[in-house]
Amino acid sequence: MNAIVSSRVREWNWTVVAAMVLTGMLVGCGGSKSVAPPPAPPAPPKVETPVAKKPGTQETKATPADAAPSGAVKILSDFNSFERVNTIGGGFGGWNSTEPQPEAVVEEKIEDGVGPDGSPAWKISYDISTPGSFCGSWMKLNDFDARSYSYLAFDIKGEGTYPTRVKCELKNENNANVGRTMITGISDQWQRKRIPLAKFKRALGNLNHLSEWVLVMDEAAVGKVKAGTILVDNVAFE
């Protein structure tokens, strides 16, 4: 009983002390209303310091032939959806020389299960048995700006009878300019070919208006293998 009374007295005492402290604080403040501090002045706008460009230099990363991949990758097509358009809206197909030129034969399709990971891949078969004929594949690049990439890259292999070499062309400015190189060492095993874009730079002048990627099967490229089949997958700029 005494303990309960003592406890209540302590509670009352604390209440009085708290009230006194609160009163003291109000008196100490002079009873005035609290005033919010003035708002901080707005921060000055951030000014981007322009980076001076050296005359004659381009805003591209250097892409020497032995440059390491920049890390950026733009997949153009893995053919897995069977759609006849790549990721930048460009179609693709086959082409062949026709009358009045010697006529070549090309057949191409997206075939399931033949890619490096068992996915669909692009199958291109050609026949240039007619002397002087030539054919190949094309893929539209729709004015693609490849300046931030170092390579045109794709997986390639031969199937059945196949050439060990095909010609690779990259075009720009609505096909006004054509850069060429040879893809060599094609085998019956999948290989990733990374062609430095720098190889095309001289012929194209710039890499920011690419219009088309073409593979060419002509006698200079395929030699005695007048008819054959190649598979292509995972076309990308890297």
Given the rule CB under 5 A, which residues bind Ca ion? 78-80, 115, 119, 233
Contact yes or no for 234/78 (Cβ under 8 A): yes
Residue type, 45: P
Q: Nearest distance from residue 122's CB to Ca ion, in Å?
A: 8
Return d(Cα 59, Cα 73) in angstroms, integer. Answer: 19
Tokens of 29: 């403040």
Shorter beta-carbon distance to Ca ion: residue 28 or 118: 118
Q: Nearest distance from residue 218's CB to Ca ion, in Å?
A: 27
Q: Nearest distance from residue 81's CB to Ca ion, in Å?
A: 9
CA terminus-to-terminus distance, the chain? 86
Ramachandran class of 113: left when φ > 0, alpha when ψ lies in -120 to 50, beta otherwise: left
Nearest Cα to Cα of residue 169 among 231, 218, 228, 124: 218
In Å, what is the CA distance from 133 to each residue of 25, 150, 160, 216? Answer: 101, 33, 21, 11
Tokens of 214: 């073409």
Shorter beta-carbon distance to Ca ion: residue 78 or 212: 78
Q: Nearest distance from residue 201's CB to Ca ion, in Å?
A: 29
Shorter beta-carbon distance to Ca ion: residue 183 or 232: 232
Shorter beta-carbon distance to Ca ion: residue 180 or 193: 193
Residues 6+ apart with CB under 8 A from 103: 96, 97, 130, 133
Shorter beta-carbon distance to Ca ion: residue 79 or 134: 79
Q: Nearest distance from residue 92's CB to Ca ion, in Å?
A: 13
Contact yes or no for 207/90 (Cβ under 8 A): no
Q: Nearest distance from residue 161's CB to Ca ion, in Å?
A: 23
Shorter beta-carbon distance to Ca ion: residue 113 or 160: 113
SS3 label, residue 165: coil
Shorter beta-carbon distance to Ca ion: residue 79 or 126: 79
Residue type, 84: R
Q: Nearest distance from residue 156's CB to Ca ion, in Å?
A: 12
